[in-house]
Structure 1
Amino acid sequence: MNINVTEFKARRQKLIASMSEGIAIIPTAPEAIRNRDSHYPYRFDSYFYYLTGFKEPESVVLLVAGDNPKSILFCRDKDIEREIWDGFRFGADAARETFGFDEAYSINELDTIVLKLLANQPKLYCSLGENTSWDARVMGWMNTLRAQARSGVSAPDNISDVRKLMDEMRLFKSPFEIDLMRQSANIAASAHNRAMQYVGSNFTRPNMMEYEIEAEFLHEFYRKGAQAPAYTSIVASGANACTLHYNANNAKLNNGDLLLIDAGCELEGYASDITRTFPVNGKFTPVQKDVYELVLAAQAAAISQVKPQSHWNAPHEAALDVLVQGFIDMKLCKGSKDAVLESGDYRQFYMHRTGHWLGLDVHDAGEYKESKSKDKLDNWRMLEPNMTLTVEPGCYIRPADNVPEAFWNIGIRIEDDVLVTHNGCEVLTKNAVKTVADIEAIMANR
């Protein structure tokens, strides 16, 4: 990794300034056992990484605000013997220099140093409630200090969730972050295009398996430098596409079915999140094409509302307006548009929201509503430049008595990653083909 020390130092300084006083303590994620003595692939905590750029487990960052502000990293010791088995470790001295910390110490010194720094502080910022062992450790520090009250030592009388301050910071992406997200989006887009070409190639068989397509995604992710999938990929053919979080990925692809793929990658911590839907045999049926183009039109309407001074829910409302009218035109819903919206009948076919924040987490940090608004029923926050979000309308038509059989088991979602700009928006994932003509063309290239 090409470490941008200036970027991470600026984030720490900004958080310290927003604290004004007290200290913040943020641990990284613990390693997790998969089974017996095997671990899951390690993934750092997003809040910790956002402040440090440091990827090793068993690490904690401590920030001191006030008259003598400073940042301190606690990490594993340099240990050549363990490096033979587990790989490179920075150690405190190299980590301090490489990542731009004021101080760095062995993780084994955490308790001793924290107690010294936490004593008589007015405020503690931490993230309680995610890890019970960490919660217990923090409470242990607090109780140790409280027990010294007769010696004139006090514990912080105010504990605040540091994530609330950081969520607002993480919501606005820097040029450094936007560049990484563009790269992640391009890798994921190339994987989606590869999947369409793979399914449409000469060696495609009607009984091909969903997991074979998933393997093509993993191939492209790693080939282009991504470190991991950003989430468990959804490769859903036929009726499986009508299950929103389907991830078994073990069914056969049938001629005439649609294939919905929701998959993205992670590059230096930053996620991409794309969904495309296309015909297994390379050609949409008339009914599939009608439904697909309805969802595509809904997405276009939603993306047109991603701009400064649109509120968060405006893209969803725009997509829903198009979808509901389409459901009525296709006779999937009955009545006027207002009546269908008021009754919620459309939820039989479209039951989720149209997007979410995107960044270090697939469902990234940040509030969707303005907490200071007087109107709690309609207090969506306004979109601003450098926010990043997904736009992902869909249509899922399960067999039902009130649904014509020609529509049964059509599941379609189209999702792109979008950056709010000063003049409108930029679709980061625009390189993933999505029009009917482009999909059929790329699949015809055999």
Structure 2
Amino acid sequence: MKYAPLQSKLFVKNRKNLSKLLNPESLVVFHSNDITPTSADGVRPFIQQTDLFYLSGIDQEETILLLFPDCLEEKHREILFIKETSELIAIWEGHKHTKDEAQEISGIKSVYWLSEFDNIFPMLAFEAQNIYLNTNEHARTIPEVESRDNRFLKQCKERFPLHNYKRVAPLMQYLRAIKSEYEVDAIQTACDITEKAFRRVLGFVKPGVWEFEVEAEIIHEFIRNRSRRPAYDSIIASGASSCILHYITNDKQCQDGDLLLMDFGCEYANYAADLTRTIPVNGKFSQRQKDVYNAVLRVQKKAIEMLVPGNYLKDYQKEISLVIEKELIDLDLLDAQKVKDQNPDQPLYRKYFMHGVSHHLGLDVHDYGSTKRKFEAGMVLTCEPGIYIREENIGIRIENNILITKDGNVDLMKNIPREVEEIEEIMNA
């Protein structure tokens, strides 16, 4: 792996925390992601299933994790099944984990080859009363492709129809919302690499460069700092494209007078950073651009103040909407009287700000975390207000990553320039 190994004590602790939430006599199963085909003999780069990584640290395909805390035989309370390598695989694909390496990474003593799973699993299933199975229950998911977890779910229920089946996803949602110090360190590293990429493009952007050239500068900086890839498809949106929320074509030439909205983040050890900055292509904001930018920045600073223990996401979003409303009135984009008389179910500000202010961040960019749960110490959330004025080709979003602590919060991107004067000074140095 390009990234430095994480400490096995992280995964040991995560497994212990999950085991405490399981019902007695329960067996839980996690599968790695598939290697996804393209066409002919092509495949996409492998990305590990994040629950399995969270519990084992294994970043390799064809992996299964079993947890059975109440198993009579101690060696079967935690079991890792990994792909058996061969000389042929080593020649064509390179090194795969040995059993000793998998033990060292995960802290799991019992490691078997994957071929042994069908012999061991039935024996444990007959001893268990409950079987917890994993499914992707994220609110934003669109499950068009069947996963290994889902295929196993069908097979398991056919073979053991009378067991009591339970969902492990709610437990993972609960646990993963709170980051340990090791996870925060990994996210901070991702943020620091993202900062280097942003500073690099501040010295690169000028009228005439292409959006894909900016994207290339970002990816170059990621990889040279031990990241394997961006955490998500980078948005490099100039001019009118800055008002397209999920613009990823990145194929326009940046023009003098344009704004350039860049939403990108580094992935490091499977943990994500998520940054957005908006800069002037020519290095100097116009007065109108500056006014809108500073309005968004004021909203962000107010929102960050509210990312503290005890607040609910829904209440936080509602209060920040009122702040945005006022800024839009001051920018002559909304009429105060019409806002006063508006339908509360169809607020007028949604024309210029149509997305949420924050989401959880971690192993996934849109990480696990219930919207009905109060903010707690250890949560990491983005803070990303924006204003999008399509008729003026002005789209501005500013996004930082915030760690909530018992004493307030910590901005993991505090060193990344965001003030108008900072950005202009660096771009014109």
TM-score, reference length from structure 2: 0.92
* Aligned residues of 1:302 and 1:317 also touching (Cα < 8 A): no
Q: What is the distance in 2 between the residues matched to 1:133 and 1:15? A: 21
Q: 1:47–1:163: 8 Å Cα contact kept in structure 2? A: no
Alpha-carbon contact 1:301-1:315 (below 8 Å) kept: no
| Aligned-residue offset at 1:134 | 4.1
The alpha carbon displacement at 1:145 in A equals 3.6
Q: Which shows bigger deviation, 409-418 or 2-11? A: 2-11
For the residues of structure 2 that align with 1:417 and 1:327, how far apart are their CA atoms?
24
Bigger drift between 1-10 and 51-60 goes to 1-10
The match for 1:9 is 12
Does residue 423 of the first structure (1) align with residue 415 of the second (2)? Answer: no
- After superposition, the CA RMSD in angstroms is 1.7
Letter in 2 for 1:109: E
Structure 1 stretches of 5 or more lacking a match?
A: 147-154, 370-380, 400-407
Aligned to 2:374: 382
Aligned counterparts of 2:286 and 2:104: Cα–Cα separation in 1: 60
SS at match of 1:26: strand
Deviation digits for residues 371-399 of structure 1, max 9, x if unmatched?
xxxxxxxxxx3211110000000011112
Q: Using a 3 Å threshold, how does the CA distance of structure 1 residues 237 and 397 change in structure 2: closer, same or farther?
A: same
CA distance in 2, matches of 1:141, 1:110: 13
Quote the Cα distance in structure 1 between the aligned partners of 2:275 and 2:135: 32
Matched residue count = 412
Counterpart mapping for 1:291-330 below 5 A: 291-330=292-331
Q: CA 1:179–1:132 in 2, change beyond 3 Å: closer, same or farther?
A: closer
Partner of 1:166: 172
Q: Which moved more, 1:113-122 or 1:46-55?
A: 113-122
Q: How far apart are residue 97 of structure 1 and its match?
A: 4.6
- Preserved CA contact (<8 Å) 1:275 1:415: yes
Instruction: Kindly indicate whether the alpha-carbon contact (under 8 Å) linking 2:242 and 2:393 is maintained by their aligned counterparts in 1.
Output: yes
Aligned to 2:199: 193
* Whole-angstrom distance in 1 between the partners of 2:80 and 2:28: 12
The answer on whether the counterparts of 2:260 and 2:281 sit within 8 Å (CA) in structure 1 is yes
How far apart in 2 are the matches of 1:182 and 1:419? 10
Q: How far is the alpha carbon of 1:120 from its aligned partner?
A: 4.4
Q: CA deviation at 1:188?
A: 0.6
Q: State the partner residue of 1:351.
A: 354
- Residue by residue over 1:302-340, the C-alpha shift from the partner in whole angstroms, topping out at 9 and shown as x without a partner, is 001111122223443343222211211222111345445
Mapping of 1:160-239 within 5 angstroms? 160-199=166-205, 204=206, 206-239=207-240
* Matching residue of 1:144: 159
In the TM superposition, residue 33 of structure 1 has moved relative to its aligned partner by 1.2
Query: Which stretches in structure 2 are left out of the alignment for 5+ residues?
Result: 137-142
Give matches, 1:32-43, under 5 Å: 32-43=36-47
3-state SS in 1 of match to 2:38: strand
Report what 1:397 is aligned to: 389
> Quick one: which of 436, 439, 442 aligns to 2:420?
436
Q: 1:365 aligns with which of 362, 365, 368?
A: 368
**What letter is aligned with 2:234?**
S
**1:91 and 1:106 in contact (8 A); partners too:** no
Q: Do structure 1's residue 123 and structure 2's residue 130 form an aligned pair?
A: yes
Deviations 1:269-289 (A, max 9, x none): 110000000100010101101
Match of 1:55 among 33, 52, 59: 59
Aligned partner letter, 1:139: K
Instruction: Please report how far the alpha carbon of residue 368 of structure 1 lies from its aligned counterpart in structure 2 after TM superposition.
Output: 1.0
For 1:241, the equivalent position in structure 2 comes to: 242
Moved over 6 A (4+): none
SS at match of 2:240: helix
Give the counterpart letter for 1:181 in structure 2: I
Give the conservation status (yes or no) of the 8 Å contact 2:34–2:62. Answer: yes
Residue 347 of structure 1 aligns to a residue whose secondary structure is helix
Would the aligned equivalents of 2:283 and 2:424 in 1 still touch at CA under 8 Å?
yes
CA separation of 1:30/1:136 partners in 2, compared to 1, >3 Å: closer, same or farther? closer
CA distance in 2, matches of 1:107, 1:394: 48
1:402 is matched with none
Instruction: Spell out the pairing of 1:11-26 with structure 2 (5 A cutoff).
Output: 11-21=14-24, 22-26=26-30
Displacement after TM superposition at 1:138 (Å): 3.2
Q: Name the amino acid aligned to 1:258.
A: L
**CA displacement, residues 86-141 of structure 1 (integer Å, 9 cap, x when unaligned):** 11111335423542213111111222211111124211111246635543433323
In structure 1, the partner of 2:102 is 95
Q: Is the 2:135–2:169 contact (alpha carbons within 8 Å) kept by the matching residues of 1?
A: no
C-alpha contact (below 8 Å) 1:48/1:61 kept by paired residues: yes
> Percent of aligned positions with the same letter in both sequences?
35
Partner of 2:85: 78
User: Could you tell which deviates more after superposition, 214-223 or 127-136?
Assistant: 127-136
In structure 1, C-alpha distance between the alignment counterparts of 2:104 and 2:280, rounded to whole Å: 53
CA offsets 1:234-257 (integer angstroms, 9 cap, x no match): 000000010000000000101001
